[in-house]
Amino acid sequence: MELQLIIFAALGILILFVLLKLLAVPMKIAVKLIWNGVIGAITLLIFNWIGGYFDIAIEIEPINALIVGIFGVPGIIALLILQNL
Protein backbone atom coordinates (compact mmCIF):
# COMPACT_ATOMS: atom_id res chain seq x y z
CA MET A 1 0.00 0.00 0.00
CA GLU A 2 2.78 2.45 0.85
CA LEU A 3 4.63 1.70 -2.38
CA GLN A 4 1.50 2.43 -4.39
CA LEU A 5 1.06 5.76 -2.58
CA ILE A 6 4.67 6.74 -3.28
CA ILE A 7 4.29 5.87 -6.98
CA PHE A 8 1.06 7.90 -7.31
CA ALA A 9 2.62 10.87 -5.49
CA ALA A 10 5.67 10.76 -7.78
CA LEU A 11 3.43 10.56 -10.86
CA GLY A 12 1.33 13.47 -9.58
CA ILE A 13 4.41 15.61 -9.04
CA LEU A 14 5.73 14.69 -12.49
CA ILE A 15 2.43 15.56 -14.18
CA LEU A 16 2.24 18.85 -12.27
CA PHE A 17 5.80 19.72 -13.32
CA VAL A 18 5.05 18.97 -17.00
CA LEU A 19 1.85 21.04 -16.91
CA LEU A 20 3.62 24.00 -15.34
CA LYS A 21 6.34 23.80 -18.00
CA LEU A 22 3.72 23.74 -20.77
CA LEU A 23 1.84 26.71 -19.31
CA ALA A 24 4.97 28.82 -18.74
CA VAL A 25 5.28 29.94 -22.36
CA PRO A 26 1.67 31.18 -22.75
CA MET A 27 1.95 32.97 -19.40
CA LYS A 28 5.08 34.80 -20.58
CA ILE A 29 3.20 35.92 -23.70
CA ALA A 30 0.20 37.06 -21.64
CA VAL A 31 2.41 39.00 -19.22
CA LYS A 32 4.21 40.64 -22.14
CA LEU A 33 0.88 41.69 -23.73
CA ILE A 34 -0.36 43.11 -20.44
CA TRP A 35 2.91 45.00 -19.96
CA ASN A 36 2.69 46.40 -23.52
CA GLY A 37 -0.88 47.48 -22.82
CA VAL A 38 0.14 49.32 -19.66
CA ILE A 39 3.02 51.05 -21.44
CA GLY A 40 0.68 51.95 -24.31
CA ALA A 41 -1.91 53.41 -21.94
CA ILE A 42 0.73 55.54 -20.22
CA THR A 43 2.00 56.68 -23.62
CA LEU A 44 -1.54 57.59 -24.68
CA LEU A 45 -2.05 59.53 -21.44
CA ILE A 46 1.10 61.54 -22.12
CA PHE A 47 0.14 62.01 -25.77
CA ASN A 48 -3.37 63.20 -24.84
CA TRP A 49 -1.93 65.57 -22.24
CA ILE A 50 0.41 67.15 -24.80
CA GLY A 51 -2.11 66.84 -27.62
CA GLY A 52 -4.70 68.69 -25.53
CA TYR A 53 -2.90 71.92 -26.37
CA PHE A 54 -3.43 71.19 -30.09
CA ASP A 55 -6.95 69.67 -29.80
CA ILE A 56 -5.66 66.20 -30.68
CA ALA A 57 -6.66 63.18 -28.59
CA ILE A 58 -6.89 59.43 -28.95
CA GLU A 59 -9.34 57.46 -26.82
CA ILE A 60 -7.64 55.26 -24.25
CA GLU A 61 -9.09 51.82 -24.93
CA PRO A 62 -7.43 48.42 -24.48
CA ILE A 63 -6.92 47.83 -28.21
CA ASN A 64 -5.49 51.32 -28.70
CA ALA A 65 -3.17 50.84 -25.73
CA LEU A 66 -1.95 47.53 -27.17
CA ILE A 67 -1.37 49.06 -30.60
CA VAL A 68 0.66 51.91 -29.12
CA GLY A 69 2.44 49.59 -26.68
CA ILE A 70 3.53 47.23 -29.44
CA PHE A 71 4.21 49.67 -32.29
CA GLY A 72 5.16 52.83 -30.39
CA VAL A 73 5.14 56.15 -32.30
CA PRO A 74 4.07 54.52 -35.62
CA GLY A 75 1.10 53.11 -33.70
CA ILE A 76 0.10 56.60 -32.53
CA ILE A 77 0.40 57.91 -36.10
CA ALA A 78 -1.67 55.00 -37.43
CA LEU A 79 -4.39 55.62 -34.83
CA LEU A 80 -4.46 59.33 -35.69
CA ILE A 81 -4.82 58.51 -39.39
CA LEU A 82 -7.60 55.98 -38.70
CA GLN A 83 -9.38 58.44 -36.42
CA ASN A 84 -9.45 61.13 -39.10
CA LEU A 85 -10.69 58.97 -41.98
DSSP structure class, residue 67? H
Residues 68-81 pLDDT 10s: 999 999 999 999 99
Dihedral of the CA atoms 84, 67, 57, 73 (nearest 10)? -90
Q: How confident is the model at residue 1 (pLDDT cuts 50, 70, 90)?
A: low
Domain ranges in the chain are: 25-83
* Cβ-based neighbour number of residue 67 at 10 Å: 22
CA distances from 15 to 3, 11, 22, 27, 31 (A): 18, 6, 11, 18, 24
Q: At what angle do helices 2-51 and 73-83 cross, to 10 degrees?
A: 60
Map residue 64 onto helix, strand or coil: helix
Name the residue with higher pLDDT: 22 or 80. 80
Average pLDDT, the chain: 90
